[in-house]
Amino acid sequence: MQFTPTELWANMGLFARLIVAVMAVMSLASLGVAGERLLYFRKSRRDSVKFAEDVAAAVEAGGFEGAAALKAGECGGYIGRTLGAGFAAYRSSPREFPDLTFESVARALERQSQREVQEMKKGLGLLATVSSTAPFVGLLGTVMGIVTSFEMMAKSGSGGLGTVSAGIAEALVTTAFGLIVAIPAVMIFNYLQGWTDGRSVDISESSNELLDALARYLRVGAQPESRATSPLAQIELSSSKPRVRE
């Protein structure tokens, strides 16, 4: 017997072939999730940077009201959708009750930020499952390969290397498949989880900056004597634009 992939496959038992097929499906699923998430993250970050620039330009041109008029929709990335929810809540809130307006915007930001984090985590559960279970699936194939070796040994009545080599090779192949599937899945999961954690901080910082700007704007608007001397152009976000980390 030659230890080539085709020879190993030809000499594998039905159970070992099933194990290899399952791990192949797991590998394709993890690679599919990784590709989709990477494309999603790239587009979402690009859209977030663009929306942040639009917010900065709107603040410079028309103050907080100018920024609140922006509607991000699905093209604003995670930052745009989060701040867009806050702006939408502000536009629909009664201006005569500043505290109610502030609370409404804060709740809208919190709800949307949780949705965005959950959207970013989509598929990570599959990667975690593959990375943690693939070695055990390979180990199951290893155990069955050893069982096959003992069966061959019992049928032949001898314990020579030639008798058990096929079963041992089958066992090692399934173990190797388990590691080949699990190692990339672990690396991809850790990278995507770190990216998600970083973007969660971005969303939190941007939401807090918006609330700070809204609090200043409502405080100024609540003072009738200061309206004539406090144009909207003086109301700025605490930074030039919502923060989007590299």
Given this model, what pLDDT does residue 77 score? 87
In a domain, 56, yes or no: yes
Distance (Å, rounded) from C-alpha 102 to C-alpha 222?
13
In a domain, 203, yes or no: yes
Distance (Å, rounded) from C-alpha 137 to C-alpha 143?
10
Domain carrying residue 198: 31-132+185-221
| Interior/surface letters 149-158, b for 16+ CB within 10 angstroms, e for the rest | beebeeeeee
Measured over the CA atoms of residue 25, residue 28, residue 30 and residue 33, the dihedral's sign is negative
* Residue 241 Cα distances to 5, 12, 46, 150, angstroms: 56, 60, 14, 69
Q: Which amino acid is at 180?
A: I
Q: How many domains, the chain?
A: 1
Given this model, what pLDDT does residue 163 score? 57
Residue partners of 22: CB distance under 8 A and separation at least 6: 137
In a domain, 194, yes or no: yes
Distance (Å, rounded) from C-alpha 213 to C-alpha 67?
11
pTM value is: 0.76
Given this model, what pLDDT does residue 141 score? 84
In a domain, 157, yes or no: no
Given this model, what pLDDT does residue 190 score? 95
Given this model, what pLDDT does residue 246 score? 52
How would you write the pLDDT of the chain (246 residues) with one tens digit per residue?
Answer: 555 667 667 767 788 888 888 999 999 999 999 999 999 999 999 999 888 888 888 877 777 888 888 776 667 789 989 998 899 888 888 777 888 889 999 999 999 999 999 999 999 999 999 999 999 998 888 888 787 777 777 776 665 666 566 667 777 888 888 999 999 999 999 999 999 999 999 999 989 988 988 888 887 654 443 333 333 333 333 444 555 555
Given this model, what pLDDT does residue 232 score? 32
Distance (Å, rounded) from C-alpha 226 to C-alpha 4?
83
In a domain, 13, yes or no: no
- Residue whose C-alpha is closest to residue 56's, from 242, 218, 205: 242
Distance (Å, rounded) from C-alpha 54 to C-alpha 46?
13
